[in-house]
Amino acid sequence: TKADAPTAVPSTSTIASHAMVRTIVTVLTGCAAVASAFVPSTKPSMGAPVRSRRATTTTMGVPTDTPFANPDHDLLVRAAKGEECERTPVWLMRQAGRYMADFRKYSDNYPFRVRSETPEIATELSLQCWKAYGMDGVIMFSDILTPLPAMGIDFDVIKGKGPVISNPPRCAADIAKLTHLEDPGAQLPFVGETLRNLRKETEGRTSLLGFVGAPFTLAAYSVNGMANKHCFETKKMMSHDPEVMHAFCDHLATNIGEYACHQIEEGAQVIQFFESWAHHLSPDQFSEFAKPYANKAMAIVKAKHPDVPVIYFANGGSSYLERQTDMTSDSVCLDWGVDIAAARKTLGPKTPVSGNMDPMILFGPEASIRKEVRSIIDGAGGPGAHLLNLGHGVMQGTPEEAVGYFVDEAKTYTK
């Protein structure tokens, strides 16, 4: 039986009711299970050498009620806390993405919010890459904008354009109308169900990450209405109505902090804050509009869940890394625009780091990928001294086997 996704594409109105989609996914999952029993995997998997594409491997398709003794299951969590590990743990931002053919069976047929807000689909998409390549962590398939509708800011994802905000808040009256994320379990029930599903699948096998958008980034996206290379509307507000921007960021800080706590309470073992629009900020703007509100949100998390590590990633923020030395996070994720050894000197020896390979390296030959992985690990202090990641998300079109080389080199390059 061939487990292809159906060709009929539900309209966005089906977001409110996922019964039909759930039935289809159940059938797909069953077909895939039957097919995989007869088709050997040729993808690199957990701990398996990937020196040749002809290598045969075994994937992680073990029933959830089967005991699975993986001594490395908490390696990522320990590294995010700053503990020295036996080897360097590895995961990739945007590891669940369109570079995978199996992922595209869903993305080509279902709108983004159907995929991210239907727990069965979101669970499947979160697990695909881990089953294929054995990263040391699974991150929930979702979006940083997911909690916004619960606060009164609606969005849709338009193919070719990305997320579009239908009602961008641009004045004090708009900010005053915003609602609070008072009960994430009721307002965003699919998030909790997805995380519970994932925790059941990953328990004792690998670590589970949740994530949120940092307050400034969510405010900037909302005010601007969509991605814009100049961040035009947001910067106008920062200049002409800074008190409105501060009020918006403060509102988001409280709600995003609670949303991150909800993810932990539903099973996430690590939380990453994404300051995706940090590259639009000067150092002083970062200190005024981004840093205090990210710290406020992260402080809410640390007050409620002090033992859960929090990672802060400012995309493009390496130009003012010295201003991130006192973030409320446990760890700082680095973009690819900074030498990791230099970054460690700037942040100090007590700040755990993750990162930071240029995603474009994955388009190169296997030898180059493996060499760069070793170079970054050495620059960070050697095997086990940091958490390996890219310096940005996996790009569409990345060869699947390149991700396998990346993960495998991290796992086999030991002390």
pLDDT tens, N- to C-terminus, the chain (415 residues): 333 333 333 344 444 444 444 444 444 444 444 333 333 333 433 333 333 322 323 333 333 444 456 899 999 999 999 999 999 999 999 999 999 999 999 999 999 999 999 999 999 999 999 999 999 999 999 999 999 999 999 999 887 788 999 999 999 999 999 999 999 999 999 999 999 999 999 999 999 999 999 999 999 999 999 888 889 999 999 999 999 999 999 999 999 999 999 999 999 999 999 999 999 999 999 999 999 999 999 999 999 999 999 999 999 999 999 999 999 999 999 999 999 999 999 999 999 999 999 999 999 999 999 999 999 999 999 999 999 999 999 999 999 999 999 999 999 999 7
C-beta of residue 415 within 8 angstroms of C-beta of residue 87: yes
Of residues 50, 67, 46, 66, the one with CA closest to residue 58 = 46
Residues sharing a CB contact under 8 Å with residue 198, sequence separation 6 or more, in sequence order: 123, 126, 127, 138, 140, 208, 267
Please give the pLDDT value at position 46.
35
For 192, other C-beta atoms within 10 Å of its C-beta total 18
Angle (CA) 267-217-350 rounded to 5° is 65
pTM here is 0.85
First to last CA, the chain: 45
Judge residue 208's burial from the number of C-beta atoms within 10 Å of its C-beta, 0-12 exposed, 13-18 middle, 19 or more buried.
buried
Please give the pLDDT value at position 47.
37
Which amino acid is it at 274?
F
Please give the pLDDT value at position 68.
54
Lateral strand order in the sheet of 270-275: 137-139, 207-213, 270-275, 310-314, 331-333, 353-357, 387-390
Please give the pLDDT value at position 69.
63
Reply yes or no: is the peptide bond before residue 356 cis, omega within 30 of 0.
yes
Please give the pLDDT value at position 109.
95
